[in-house]
Amino acid sequence: MAARVIDGKAVAAAVRERVAGEVAAMPTAPGLATVLVGEDPASAVYVRMKREDSAQVGIESFHHEPAPGEVAELLAELNAEPRINGILLQLPLPDGVDDAEMTALIDPRKDVDGLTPLSAGLLAQGRPGQVPCTPAGVMELLAHAGVELEGAEAVVVGRSQLVGKPLAALLLAANATVTHCHSRTRDLAASCRRADVLIAAAGVPGLITADMVREGATVIDVGTNRTDEGLTGDVDFDGVSGVAGAITPVPGGVGPMTRAMLLVNTVAAAKAQLEAVP
């Protein structure tokens, strides 16, 4: 039987509607600063989409395009600006400016991408904090799809700071038994076959094939790879659909959720800052 397709667009639309309701009930609109450095066309598109999403739910966005040498100074200003509740520093930064060094300058209370060392540390310790948007989106998709995580075998392929590591921490916090695979894993197929929930975040088109998937497993494809055939995931969708119980498509799976979770994080940051005002 063909796998159920988990519709990320529909879940993201539901999340946006929920966020819009929360924003409407707040005394002031949350403010999101978007910071774009350099000339990368893909980054420019992502930032534009994030600003459009913000406008749609009532979040006010403030856009900045500093020169590489001005990023640190701008981040300090945005940290101090009460109108700004969240700061989105679009990565990767151009050569000569270090992603991790600049990210670490963001006030953790405004860290809506969840990538500062403090946010990563809180997540690793299983304490509340800002969670990176893509892993948060994957967890939301799993919840909407009704996937039981308690005691489940979860396999994560990829160990980046952005996706794989935070995702493994979230699955562990949800009481899954987590296996973490990466480029040096000896027998990837054998590890993947254990999975009730298999998450591919390697950036390798077609890495996960049907023979690597257990019958009835839930397969989440984070991969977003630009190939000659267009945008493809890390999962051989046609083959794996014949084995899995549920699967996300690319595009239309995790991508829309990543965008939606930025809005969730921005509202959460704004609420926390409102509550902190004496």
50 is catalytic: yes
Instruction: Give min distance, CB of 136 to ligand NAD, in A.
Output: 11
d(CA 161, CA 124): 11
Residue nearer to ligand NAD on the CB measure, 66 or 252: 252
Residue nearer to ligand NAD on the CB measure, 149 or 157: 157
Instruction: Give min distance, CB of 137 to ligand NAD, in A.
Output: 7
Strands 218-221 and 230-232: unpaired
Total residue count of the chain as it appears in this document: 278
Residue nearer to ligand NAD on the CB measure, 88 or 222: 222
Q: Which residues of the shown chain bind ligand NAD in the complex (CB under 6 A)?
A: 134, 157-160, 162-164, 181-183, 185, 188, 201-204, 207, 222-225, 254-255, 258
On whether the CB atoms of residues 210 and 231 are closer than 8 A, the answer is no
Report residue 212 as tokens: 């690597």
Q: Which H or E element spans position 110?
A: none
Cis peptide before 108 (omega within 30 of 0): no
Q: How many CA atoms lie within 13 A of 109 on its CB side?
A: 16
Instruction: List the catalytic residue out of 50, 107, 110, 234.
Output: 50
Instruction: List the catalytic residue out of 53, 90, 110, 165.
Output: 90
Q: Which H or E element spans position 277?
A: none
CA 202 from chain center: how many Å? Answer: 14
Instruction: List the catalytic residue out of 53, 107, 111, 113.
Output: 113
DSSP letter at 142? H
Instruction: Give min distance, CB of 183 to ligand NAD, in A.
Output: 4
d(CA 197, CA 244): 10
Instruction: Give min distance, CB of 88 to ligand NAD, in A.
Output: 14
Residue nearer to ligand NAD on the CB measure, 79 or 161: 161
Catalytic residues: 50, 90, 113
